[in-house]
Chains A and B, each alone.
Chain A
Amino acid sequence: MANVGRIVSISGSLITAAFEQPVVQNEVAYARLHDLRLKSELIRVRGRYADLQVFEDTAGLYVGARVEFTGELLSVELGPGLLGQVVDGLQNPLPALAEASGYFLPRGKYLEPLDREQRWSFTPGVREGDTVFAGDALGTVPESEFEHRIMVPFGLAGAWTVRSVVAAGSYTVEEVVATLEGAKGQSVEVSMLQRWPVKVPIRAYRERLRPSEPLVTKVRIVDTLCPVARGGGACIPGPFGAGKTVLQQLMSRHAEVDVVIVAACGERAGEVVETLREFPELTDPRTGRSLMERTVIVCNTSSMPVAAREASVYTAVTLAEYYRQMGLQVLLLADSTSRWAQALREVSGRLEEIPGEEAFPAYLESVVAAFYERGGTVRLRDGSEGSVTVIGTVSPAGGNLEEPVTQATLKVVGAFLGLSRERSDARRYPAIDPLESWSHYGGVVDAADVSFAQRLLRDGNEVAQMMKVVGEEGTALEDVVRYLQAEFLDASYLQQDAFDAVDGASGAERQALVFGDLVRVLRPPLAFDDKDAARRFYQYLTQVTKDWNRAPWQTPEFEAGREQVRTLVREAGGDV
């Protein structure tokens, strides 16, 4: 017997429905508009009235229209075939939707995220009589370069006995591959497809571990000065035009991880299109396959319905957790969490909740914290380790980092990669401010060298400030040299040319070697006759080092570049 309610009021994307039978908080309900079924989520119950946020435009809905409650929480489909997909916040595959409906995104049209026809080559990994727990692999199918584990549904509690498992062969996602029996004799049929509610973390692992391994992004300033750990969290706040999205795009290309989930949340459609059209053409240097085969794009761009924007980040993080359960390293890039927070604010306003700072809801902080906490490194029951690293951009209003979203985020992340307008105006890319940014994680280079470099950059900045007041004439020679050294380190190491194939992606070993060399170049004091001589020397050294950066790793060219830098320093009296 279907649970049906009736709409009693409509305000923007929020509708209120009167109901008779019990309903479930956060369950999915469909508002009926003639033949259309508009998906919505129950977000508040008062008396016999339920408030629902509709994930679609509510135009045309009327008082008295039917609302069908499903009793199921907002869920995603998990199974082989997710990689390479482009879906909206509710996991509708967009290319299939375009085929079915043309240019526009029609409301009330929901397609199945996973292909029901495609057959996957299943290899069983358990035998009849084996005991299994939620998250254990029953077998595998090849997907992209991975062995995609077909797992015991995450929601099954306790021990289960395998009653039957199919022979190796090809099956569709809906065909039963195993039958399990529970402690009380109840039986469950398992297919390759399982559903999981997006707002509930997947916890089918043995333990959570401390993030200790660095996640190599190949962006030097990040990996060297403010590294991000696998399973850690980082945020990238910055004013518009400072390069948040470009930085994330670089990470999505070069980061040394198995799977990348891109959550394009409330940002420009054009940027999604770039990823969408370019990734299939680009090859992943590690696997030789197209980058798209390790990527899933979840997009709710700024013109798509606001209520689904909140769902999109949860959909993305659930997909990330799913691949983590296979012992894979997953990177989740969320751009931008501010837009998600604004969506929360809009809904909160419609609910007439008492507003907090800048009208954001009072629960903003706990919601943001809970989201970043879904990242992490875990040891699975079979001993393998998987991780979800969450890197979110923040778009602070007016570039002011005091605003609530930035502050809420800073409390829960382990690395802060702050972009600055000054650096981007000076075309110093990536425009991460080396003085303001920080990280609690260990990086790919020697820690003592890092503190030396940070000290040098701070000193250089102080001298620069001083020179603005007293001019170069009034500054001592050693101070000017300090300043020039800092500028050299900035120009030849921290800055990176994203469009250069070699310079744009710098591996961990290369960073350790080059950074070590540069610190050795910078440590010993060099004597210069005057400031002009010092400036000429560091300008030339910058030029030579930049050329070195463009020489491919482990080639004679690279060695020659290295030697050239050393020679130059030796000629200036340095001991390297």
Chain B
Amino acid sequence: MYKTYVRLERVTGSVVAVKTNDAANRELALITWPGGSSLAQVVRLEADRAYLQVFAGVRGLPTDARVRFLGRPMQVPGSDALLGRIFDGAGRPRDGGPSLDEEMIDLAGPSVNPAKRIIPRTMVRTGIPMIDVFNSLVESQKLPIFSVPGEPYLELLARLALQAEVDRIVLGGMGLKHDDFLYFRDTLDGAGALTRTVGFIHTAADPTVECLLVPDMALAVAERFALRNERVLVLLSDMTNYADAMKEVAITMEQIPSNRGYPGDLYTQLASRYERAVDFDDAGSITILAVTTMPGDDVTHPVPDNTGYITEGQLYLRGGRIEPFGSLSRLKQLVNGDTRDDHRAIMNTMIQLYAAYRETLEKRAMGFRMSEWDGQLLRYGEGFEARLMDLDVDLPLEAALDAGWRLLADCFERTQTGLPSALVERHWPEPA
């Protein structure tokens, strides 16, 4: 039986202090008072005083609340019973189902030994041509989706959750609007994809501290699945909310801010989460896609900037489409060499032609005369946007490559594209 303490010495921000001699660092405690209860975690120990971060916030917390230390750090269940379930940021069921307490795992465990990692070599097919063809996602990759608020990034995440060819999806929502949460749930449920999914959802109305737990819970569960030889895709949204929660907590704890109010360890905090992406040498893998909204479309903002240094490329979402310029999967060359012989050539040529189309658009806007070539490019560009870039397009890689050839044949002569002749011979479609 654990000892109970009944006097809070201090309440500041979301942190309370209690006089005790037997608390351990990062230990979990349960705080109860007549009006409610909350979990709390030890964040600092000083002589006979323990500082606890209260997950549910401190509003309405009386100084005579009862504090009971639980003798363990924060944990999350790791059994298969998780599948199809949705929890909140403190690990409580959000779907009306029973709480789970099987196979509990500690959050933020030790990191993977680099000697147990392998160079990733398996592509994650998503059915989204802008990813599969142009920026192939690779198992164990961590990619942010840089987006301005208002872009359909949740729709994109939902599509990925439905279509990605992986065994398990772990969803982490941070600061989601409640509507968005419902949209997510209903979309996955409607398509029958909920059964391979676990969700940890913190909504904007929930206490800030709970937001901080979401990535750790999602990744701890993902790690457990991966060790059981499963390919796991972790979808996170929105990492900027997560960083803002960190900022809020750091400042209330009187830490010295470094850049625009964010704590000095922002990079380390983000990296230690993203680095959980892994391809084990003899088990499964974790792949991470994380929405990072860019305040003011500014990629030099501390959150996207630090993220860019951590992740292996990035996808830009602009104008409702995945932008071909700037988006980059750094690992794509590990996998796109052995998909189909025309993959790399189509990838490069179609982007070059699309860039030429953009230049033509500028020329047209400035009132220059359009040549015949310009006319072809205009037709190509519009076709490219409608047939491949549109987020609603759902094509397997091979079909997307074929659609690319079809589009090229619709707009150009065989000799105009600069594609290697051998590939043109093999793939150029007959006129429709």
Q: Which A residues fall within an 8 A CB radius of B?
A: 7-12, 57-64, 86, 94-95, 97-98, 101-107, 239-241, 266, 268-270, 272-274, 276-278, 299, 301-304, 306, 339, 342-343, 345-346, 349, 355, 358-360, 395, 397-400
- Known A59-B73, A241-B328, A358-B259; further 13 A-B contacts with Cβ < 8 A: A8-B46, A60-B73, A63-B21, A97-B113, A241-B308, A266-B267, A268-B275, A269-B114, A269-B275, A277-B118, A301-B275, A359-B264, A395-B309
Interface magnitude class on chain B: 35 or more
In the complex, per-residue mask of B325-349: 1 if CB is within 8 Å of any chain A CB, else 0: 0001011000000000000000000
Does residue B151 face the partner (Cβ distance < 8 Å to A)? no
Contacts of A97 in B (CB 8 A): 113, 115
Once the chains bind, are B264 and A302 in contact (CB under 8 Å)? Answer: no
Once the chains bind, are B272 and A349 in contact (CB under 8 Å)? Answer: no
User: Who on chain B is nearest to A8 by CB?
Assistant: B47
Once the chains bind, are B44 and A9 in contact (CB under 8 Å)? Answer: yes
Given contacts A9-B44, A399-B300, contact A302 B113 (CB under 8 A): no
User: Who on chain B is nearest to A345 by CB?
Assistant: B264
Once the chains bind, are A60 and B27 in contact (CB under 8 Å)? Answer: yes
How many whole Å from B377's CB to the nearest CB in chain A?
A: 20
Does residue B265 face the partner (Cβ distance < 8 Å to A)? yes
How many whole Å from A446's CB to the nearest CB in chain B?
A: 37
7 residue pairs, one from A and one from B, having the closest CB atoms: A303-B275, A302-B271, A398-B300, A240-B308, A59-B26, A359-B258, A303-B111
A397's partner among B119, B259, B283 (CB-CB below 8 A) is B259
Once the chains bind, are A10 and B44 in contact (CB under 8 Å)? Answer: yes
A299 to B115, CA, bound (A): 11
Once the chains bind, are A94 and B113 in contact (CB under 8 Å)? Answer: yes
A345's partner among B26, B227, B258 (CB-CB below 8 A) is B258
How many whole Å from B265's CB to the nearest CB in chain A?
A: 5
Contacts of B119 in A (CB 8 A): 270, 273-274, 277-278
A103's partner among B48, B112, B264, B309 (CB-CB below 8 A) is B112
How many whole Å from A91's CB to the nearest CB in chain B?
A: 14
Given contacts A104-B109, A241-B308, contact A349 B256 (CB under 8 A): yes
Contacts of A12 in B (CB 8 A): 44
In the complex, per-residue mask of B255-285: 1 if CB is within 8 Å of any chain A CB, else 0: 1111100001101100110111010100100
Does residue B23 face the partner (Cβ distance < 8 Å to A)? yes
A86 to B117, CA, bound (A): 13
Contacts of B306 in A (CB 8 A): 397
Does residue B22 face the partner (Cβ distance < 8 Å to A)? yes
How many whole Å from A96's CB to the nearest CB in chain B?
A: 9
Once the chains bind, are B110 and A273 in contact (CB under 8 Å)? Answer: no
A107 to B255, CA, bound (A): 26
User: Who on chain A is nearest to B46 by CB?
Assistant: A9
Contacts of A241 in B (CB 8 A): 308, 313-314, 328, 330
User: Who on chain A is nearest to B306 by CB?
Assistant: A397
Contacts of B328 in A (CB 8 A): 241
Most-contacted residue by chain A among B109, B267, B310 (CB, 10 A): B267
Given contacts A98-B116, A302-B271, A302-B272, contact A358 B258 (CB under 8 A): yes
In the complex, per-residue mask of B92-132: 1 if CB is within 8 Å of any chain A CB, else 0: 00000000000000000111111111111000000000000
A97 to B48, CA, bound (A): 37
Once the chains bind, are A101 and B268 in contact (CB under 8 Å)? Answer: no
Once the chains bind, are B267 and A339 in contact (CB under 8 Å)? Answer: yes
User: Who on chain B is nearest to A269 by CB?
Assistant: B114
Once the chains bind, are B45 and A9 in contact (CB under 8 Å)? Answer: yes
Does residue B24 face the partner (Cβ distance < 8 Å to A)? yes
Once the chains bind, are A103 and B268 in contact (CB under 8 Å)? Answer: no
Once the chains bind, are A103 and B272 in contact (CB under 8 Å)? Answer: no
Contacts of A62 in B (CB 8 A): 22-25, 45
Contacts of A273 in B (CB 8 A): 114, 117-119
Once the chains bind, are B115 and A397 in contact (CB under 8 Å)? Answer: no
Contacts of A360 in B (CB 8 A): 258
Can you list 15 A-B pairs with a CB-CB distance of less than 8 A?
A11-B44, A60-B24, A62-B25, A103-B280, A104-B112, A240-B309, A241-B314, A269-B112, A274-B119, A339-B267, A349-B265, A358-B258, A359-B257, A397-B302, A399-B305
Contacts of B302 in A (CB 8 A): 397-398
User: Who on chain B is nearest to A18 by CB?
Assistant: B47
Once the chains bind, are B115 and A98 in contact (CB under 8 Å)? Answer: yes
How many whole Å from A355's CB to the nearest CB in chain B?
A: 5
Does residue B312 face the partner (Cβ distance < 8 Å to A)? yes
A63 to B331, CA, bound (A): 46
Contacts of B23 in A (CB 8 A): 62-63
Contacts of B117 in A (CB 8 A): 269-270, 273
How many whole Å from A207's CB to the nearest CB in chain B?
A: 39
A302 to B22, CA, bound (A): 32
A63's partner among B48, B114, B257 (CB-CB below 8 A) is B48
Query: In B368-399, which residues have CB < 8 Å from any A CB?
Result: none
How many whole Å from A397's CB to the nearest CB in chain B?
A: 6
Once the chains bind, are B26 and A355 in contact (CB under 8 Å)? Answer: no
User: Who on chain A is nearest to B111 by CB?
Assistant: A303
Once the chains bind, are B312 and A349 in contact (CB under 8 Å)? Answer: no
Once the chains bind, are A349 and B255 in contact (CB under 8 Å)? Answer: yes
Once the chains bind, are B47 and A63 in contact (CB under 8 Å)? Answer: yes
Contacts of B45 in A (CB 8 A): 7, 9-11, 61-63
Does residue B140 face the partner (Cβ distance < 8 Å to A)? yes
Most-contacted residue by chain B among A8, A272, A301 (CB, 10 A): A301
A59's partner among B25, B48, B275, B300 (CB-CB below 8 A) is B25
Once the chains bind, are B300 and A400 in contact (CB under 8 Å)? Answer: yes
Once the chains bind, are B312 and A101 in contact (CB under 8 Å)? Answer: no
B268's partner among A60, A278, A346, A359 (CB-CB below 8 A) is A346
B283's partner among A103, A345, A346 (CB-CB below 8 A) is A103
Contacts of A299 in B (CB 8 A): 114
Once the chains bind, are A268 and B21 in contact (CB under 8 Å)? Answer: no
Once the chains bind, are A106 and B25 in contact (CB under 8 Å)? Answer: no
A304 to B111, CA, bound (A): 6
A301 to B109, CA, bound (A): 15
Most-contacted residue by chain B among A7, A303, A343, A359 (CB, 10 A): A303
How many whole Å from A11's CB to the nearest CB in chain B?
A: 5
Contacts of A395 in B (CB 8 A): 309
In the complex, per-residue mask of B240-256: 1 if CB is within 8 Å of any chain A CB, else 0: 00000000000000011
Most-contacted residue by chain B among A272, A302, A343 (CB, 10 A): A302
Contacts of B120 in A (CB 8 A): 270
A239 to B140, CA, bound (A): 23
How many whole Å from A57's CB to the nearest CB in chain B?
A: 7
Once the chains bind, are B275 and A94 in contact (CB under 8 Å)? Answer: no
Once the chains bind, are B25 and A272 in contact (CB under 8 Å)? Answer: no
Contacts of B256 in A (CB 8 A): 349, 355, 359
B312's partner among A63, A95, A268, A339 (CB-CB below 8 A) is A268
Contacts of A63 in B (CB 8 A): 21, 23, 45-48
How many whole Å from B302's CB to the nearest CB in chain A?
A: 7
User: Who on chain A is nearest to B283 by CB?
Assistant: A103
Contacts of B227 in A (CB 8 A): 103
A257 to B44, CA, bound (A): 48
Contacts of A345 in B (CB 8 A): 258, 264
Once the chains bind, are A103 and B21 in contact (CB under 8 Å)? Answer: no
Contacts of B313 in A (CB 8 A): 241
Contacts of A240 in B (CB 8 A): 305, 308-309
How many whole Å from A334's CB to the nearest CB in chain B?
A: 15
Once the chains bind, are B114 and A272 in contact (CB under 8 Å)? Answer: yes
A277 to B330, CA, bound (A): 18
Contacts of A106 in B (CB 8 A): 110
How many whole Å from A88's CB to the nearest CB in chain B?
A: 9
A102 to B223, CA, bound (A): 14
User: Who on chain B is nearest to A309 by CB?
Assistant: B268
Query: In B33-53, which residues have CB < 8 Å from any A CB?
Result: 44-48
A106 to B112, CA, bound (A): 9
A397 to B109, CA, bound (A): 29
User: Who on chain A is nearest to B26 by CB?
Assistant: A59
Most-contacted residue by chain A among B111, B256, B309 (CB, 10 A): B309
Contacts of A306 in B (CB 8 A): 265, 268
Once the chains bind, are B115 and A94 in contact (CB under 8 Å)? Answer: yes
Contacts of B265 in A (CB 8 A): 306, 342, 346, 349
